[in-house]
Amino acid sequence: MPRDGGVSGRGSSASPLIGRWEATLYVDVGADVQLWTTEWTFRADGTCDYRQTVLSVVAGTTVKFRPCAWSTSSGVLRVVYADTGALYEAAFSFPTGLRDSVVIQGVAYRRTG
Protein backbone atom coordinates (compact mmCIF):
# COMPACT_ATOMS: atom_id res chain seq x y z
CA MET A 1 0.00 0.00 0.00
CA PRO A 2 1.31 3.51 -0.61
CA ARG A 3 2.74 5.35 2.36
CA ASP A 4 2.92 9.11 2.76
CA GLY A 5 2.63 11.17 -0.42
CA GLY A 6 2.45 8.08 -2.62
CA VAL A 7 5.70 6.55 -1.38
CA SER A 8 5.22 2.81 -1.32
CA GLY A 9 7.06 -0.26 -0.16
CA ARG A 10 7.39 -2.11 3.13
CA GLY A 11 9.86 -0.68 5.59
CA SER A 12 9.61 2.88 4.27
CA SER A 13 10.42 5.40 6.99
CA ALA A 14 9.30 8.38 4.89
CA SER A 15 5.99 9.01 6.65
CA PRO A 16 5.85 11.58 9.45
CA LEU A 17 3.01 9.50 10.97
CA ILE A 18 5.46 6.85 12.16
CA GLY A 19 5.38 6.79 15.95
CA ARG A 20 2.82 6.79 18.75
CA TRP A 21 -0.06 9.30 18.88
CA GLU A 22 -2.62 9.94 21.62
CA ALA A 23 -5.88 11.90 21.89
CA THR A 24 -8.10 12.33 24.94
CA LEU A 25 -11.74 13.42 24.75
CA TYR A 26 -14.45 13.95 27.35
CA VAL A 27 -17.77 12.65 26.04
CA ASP A 28 -21.24 13.26 27.51
CA VAL A 29 -23.32 10.17 26.77
CA GLY A 30 -26.77 10.79 28.22
CA ALA A 31 -26.59 9.96 31.94
CA ASP A 32 -22.90 9.04 31.67
CA VAL A 33 -19.68 11.01 31.36
CA GLN A 34 -16.81 9.23 29.67
CA LEU A 35 -13.11 9.90 29.15
CA TRP A 36 -11.90 8.39 25.86
CA THR A 37 -8.17 7.95 25.29
CA THR A 38 -7.28 6.79 21.79
CA GLU A 39 -3.77 5.74 20.86
CA TRP A 40 -2.42 4.91 17.41
CA THR A 41 1.02 3.38 16.88
CA PHE A 42 2.25 3.45 13.28
CA ARG A 43 5.41 1.49 12.34
CA ALA A 44 7.70 1.82 9.31
CA ASP A 45 6.93 -1.78 8.27
CA GLY A 46 3.28 -0.85 7.62
CA THR A 47 1.86 -2.40 10.79
CA CYS A 48 -0.06 -0.46 13.41
CA ASP A 49 -1.97 -0.79 16.65
CA TYR A 50 -5.18 0.94 17.67
CA ARG A 51 -6.03 1.12 21.36
CA GLN A 52 -9.00 2.91 22.88
CA THR A 53 -9.56 3.12 26.63
CA VAL A 54 -12.94 4.37 27.82
CA LEU A 55 -13.37 5.39 31.46
CA SER A 56 -17.08 5.56 32.21
CA VAL A 57 -18.75 6.81 35.38
CA VAL A 58 -21.50 4.22 34.82
CA ALA A 59 -19.73 1.22 33.24
CA GLY A 60 -16.14 1.47 34.52
CA THR A 61 -13.18 0.93 32.20
CA THR A 62 -13.15 -0.81 28.83
CA VAL A 63 -10.18 -1.26 26.52
CA LYS A 64 -10.35 -2.02 22.82
CA PHE A 65 -7.14 -3.16 21.09
CA ARG A 66 -6.89 -3.86 17.36
CA PRO A 67 -3.73 -4.69 15.39
CA CYS A 68 -3.75 -3.29 11.88
CA ALA A 69 -1.90 -2.39 8.68
CA TRP A 70 -1.67 1.18 7.42
CA SER A 71 -0.73 3.38 4.51
CA THR A 72 -1.23 7.00 3.45
CA SER A 73 -1.70 8.76 0.17
CA SER A 74 -2.51 12.42 -0.55
CA GLY A 75 -3.47 13.25 3.04
CA VAL A 76 -5.65 10.16 3.56
CA LEU A 77 -4.83 7.52 6.17
CA ARG A 78 -5.95 4.00 5.30
CA VAL A 79 -6.10 1.37 8.02
CA VAL A 80 -7.05 -2.28 7.58
CA TYR A 81 -7.88 -3.99 10.88
CA ALA A 82 -6.32 -7.45 11.22
CA ASP A 83 -9.24 -8.91 13.19
CA THR A 84 -11.97 -8.18 10.62
CA GLY A 85 -10.27 -6.90 7.48
CA ALA A 86 -12.41 -3.75 7.77
CA LEU A 87 -11.06 -0.63 6.08
CA TYR A 88 -10.95 2.72 7.89
CA GLU A 89 -10.11 5.84 5.88
CA ALA A 90 -9.55 9.25 7.41
CA ALA A 91 -8.15 12.59 6.32
CA PHE A 92 -5.09 13.70 8.26
CA SER A 93 -2.94 16.81 8.45
CA PHE A 94 -0.19 18.44 10.49
CA PRO A 95 -1.82 21.79 11.27
CA THR A 96 1.15 23.43 12.97
CA GLY A 97 3.60 22.45 10.25
CA LEU A 98 5.50 20.61 12.97
CA ARG A 99 5.42 16.87 13.46
CA ASP A 100 4.44 16.89 17.15
CA SER A 101 0.68 16.99 16.52
CA VAL A 102 -1.59 15.57 13.86
CA VAL A 103 -5.32 15.88 13.17
CA ILE A 104 -6.95 12.61 12.09
CA GLN A 105 -10.61 12.82 11.04
CA GLY A 106 -10.99 16.08 12.95
CA VAL A 107 -9.45 14.81 16.22
CA ALA A 108 -6.16 16.33 17.42
CA TYR A 109 -3.49 13.83 18.50
CA ARG A 110 -0.15 14.56 20.15
CA ARG A 111 3.01 12.58 19.57
CA THR A 112 3.88 10.42 22.60
CA GLY A 113 6.58 8.27 21.09
pLDDT tens, position by position, 10-24: 334 578 999 999 999
Structure letter (DSSP) for residue 98: S
pLDDT in tens, 53-93: 999 999 999 999 999 999 999 999 999 999 999 999 999 99
Separation of alpha carbons 14 and 18, rounded Å: 8
Tell me the whole-structure pTM to 2 decimals. 0.84
Residues 6+ apart with CB under 8 A from 12: 3, 44
